Each structure stands twice: as C-alpha cells, then as structure tokens.
Amino acid sequence: MVRTDRENAIQLRKTGKSYSEIREKLRIPKSTLSDWLGPADWSLKIQKKLRECSKVSSKVRLQFLNKIRGERLNKVYKEAKNEAQKELSELKYHPLFIAGVVAYWGEGDKVSDYNVRITNTDPAMIRLFVDFLKNVCQVPPERIKAWLLIYPDLEERKCLQFWTEKAGLKEQNFNKTITINGRHKTNRLKYGICNVGVSSKYLKQKMLLWLELLPYELLNKKYYAGLV
C-alpha cells in the first residue's frame, strides 16, 4: 500500500502538483511527501516553479487589494468633502466653528495628510481648539492627543499641570514631553509650547475644505445679511 501511495504521489508531483494538493488528494502527511520527493532534482525544479508562480499570484492579488482599498478610500474621502460642505452651510454662523477653523488656518498643520493639530503658547487658544474638536467635530476626548515642547530648565510636572488645568485636558491626553534647547537663555516661555489635535485623515479632508471655503463665506456680503 505504501509503495502504491508513493508511486501515486510521484505521478501527481510530476504533473506539477504541490505538497498541499497531493496531501489533500492522497491523505499523506507533508513530512512523508518531503522524504519521498524532496531529494529528487526534478521535484526541486517543480518546487521552484511553484514558488515563482506563487509570487506572481501574490503580487497580482496585492495589486488587486490595493486597487480596491484605493477605490474605497477615494469614496470615503469624497463623502468627507460632501459632508464638510453640508456642515459648512449649517455651521457657518456658529462662533466655535468659525473660531476653530480660523485658529487652524493660522496655527494648524498644513503638511501632514492626517494630523488635525495646532501648536501654540496660549492656553486659551489650545482650550478653544480642544472644545472645537470635542463639540463641533464630535471627536471623543480620549482620541485627542497633546504633547509639550519645553526647555531643559523647566519642570515637566509643573508645565503638564499648567496645561491640563488651562487647556481642558487630562494627563492621559498627553504623550511624552519633548525637551528642546532654545537660542536665548532669557525670555523663555514659562510653560513651554503645547501641540494638540487628533489623527484622522477623514477629518483632515473636511478641515482642508473648510479652510478653502470659509474665507469666501466671511468675505461675502450675503453672509452678513444672514446675521440680520
């Protein structure tokens, strides 16, 4: 019986079957097939050919998945822009919305594809942007992340306490503090610089559209007619 199984395995292997395919058909363990077929030169050539085919197949599949992912993301980001345009018409008279977008216009990250964050030394500005994220953008508080830039002679604990109290944040919102060396030994910022925001490409798409459209709304005379 073993001899017949071995002969059948050899015949299947010569047709280009993989160990997995032979095992499925003959119910023979891979370890046994490796002992029977592995040492043979002709079997090794088949193994090499199967690997090359597998690489091509994997590459084609990866390209296909990337295409699907790309198409899906493009659809999602298009939805984000449509949503942002609709929200602009609803929120363009909302003071916190206007303040948050204008704050980002002046102090926000314009480089990253996904970071919606601002950097400032004024705790009131940071607090305003945090409230904008929470109450206008509906960002869960735990998703908001902040970190401090401080000088070596500043006490990290004291600075962290200052920003948590003044900016409406919790210590859990803060990542590791970064220490920097300033050019001037005097006139240094007493509590460092605070960076705060959220990582979201969806929200970034919306913010970029708001930045593009809101200034035209504010400069349009019809906008002020709506205030009457």
Res. 113 pLDDT band, cuts 50 70 90: confident
pLDDT digits (tens, 9 = 90+) for 216-226: 888 887 877 76
Q: Computed from CA positions of residues 218, 222, 223, 228, in that sequence, does the dihedral angle turn out positive or negative? A: positive
Q: Sketch the domain layout of the chain as residue ranges.
A: 94-225
Say yes or no to pLDDT of 208 above 80.
yes
Q: Which residue has the higher pLDDT, 55 or 143?
A: 143
Say yes or no to pLDDT of 65 above 70.
no
Pairing of strands 145-150, 193-199: antiparallel
At 40 the pLDDT is: 67
Say yes or no to pLDDT of 184 above 60.
no
Range list of H helices, 16-112: 19-26, 30-37, 41-91, 95-107
At 1 the pLDDT is: 47
169 and 163 Cβ atoms separated by less than 8 Å: yes
pLDDT digits (tens, 9 = 90+) for 6-57: 777 777 767 777 777 777 777 777 777 777 666 666 566 667 766 665 555 5
In the CATH scheme, what is the code of domain 94-225?
Answer: 3.30.1330
Say yes or no to pLDDT of 179 above 50.
yes
> Where is 116: in which H helix or E strand?
strand 115-120
123 and 163 Cβ atoms separated by less than 8 Å: yes
CB atoms within 10 A of CB 136: 17
